[in-house]
Amino acid sequence: MTSDLKGKAVLITGASTGIGAAAAKAFGRLGSRVAIHYNSSRAAAEQVAADVRSSGTQAVLVGGDLSKPSNASGVVAETLAAFGRIDVLINNAGGLVKRTRIEDYSEEFLEGVIALNVIQVALFMREVIPIMRKQKSGSVINVSSIAARHGGGAGAIIYAGAKGFISTATHGWAKEVVADGIRVNAVSPGVIATPFHERYSTPEQLKAMQAMIPMNRLGTAEECAGTFVYLASDAMSGYVTGQVIEVNGGQHMP
């Protein structure tokens, strides 16, 4: 496993559970210093931090409700105060909000989905890219979704569109910052067994999704973590930028 991530400062949004938590632990095992952002799940975030520290490295907790995008600047400031730099930004936080049919869309619902999945990501880019420009190095890893490829399941179309924005913007951001030694990529998970689907998907929906996956099973958060490590490491992916890497058991093969 690569060693060039040892000592690197990694900020992961939405890192208290699921994919973000698995990524935080993976970076901890490699000796990275990890800022674990959480919203309401402080106890879970504390356990993730304990796991990271057990690997002999530093972890800090950074709270903030990212459905209020203005909190992004505070999360970045706290991370910078703790580590003095940010080498890797993982924009993992996001959510479906709720499954909603077209005829039931409200302005509040639409604004909520966009705020949580688009605006706060763009604001994290605004806050972190100047830091990385000064460093002349950095890796940003956004989190898209297989929903961006197929338009989303029942009631999840606006979420899918928001993740489509993330995939498209990743290409553009990568081109804008490449001259400053910054790489921007995205991970696009398929159907992963995390609290996301516990909250938003019924057992029947998950069974129908599984039937569409060639591997005939749901993925795990741990099976996504290696892709984040790969994209963060200059040793492993130094010539990779502007890419959206699918982790979906073969459900979508671009």
Convert the pLDDT of each residue in 96-151 to its tens digit: 999 999 999 999 999 999 999 999 999 999 999 999 999 999 999 999 999 999 99
Q: What domains appear along the chain, each with residue ranges and CATH number?
A: 9-190+222-244 (3.40.50.720)
Catalytic entry in 159, 200, 230, 239: 159
Check if the beta carbon of residue 145 is closer than 8 Å to that of residue 160. yes
User: In degrees, to the nearest 5, what angle opens at C-alpha 191 toward C-alphas 188 and 196?
Assistant: 95
DSSP state at residue 40: S
pLDDT band (50, 70, 90) for residue 200: low
Measuring CA to CA, how many Å separate 31 from each of 39, 53, 163, 192, 197? 25, 9, 30, 26, 30
Active site residue 230: no
Q: Looking at residue 205, what is its pLDDT?
A: 83
Tens of pLDDT, residues 21-66: 999 999 999 999 999 999 999 999 999 999 999 999 999 999 999 9
Share of the chain above pLDDT 70, in %: 98
Q: Is the pLDDT of residue 173 over 80?
A: yes
Model confidence band, residue 1 (pLDDT cutoffs 50, 70, 90): low
Residue-level pLDDT at 90: 99
Helix, strand, coil share (%) of the chain residues, nearest 5: 50, 15, 35
The answer, as to whether pTM is greater than 0.75, is yes
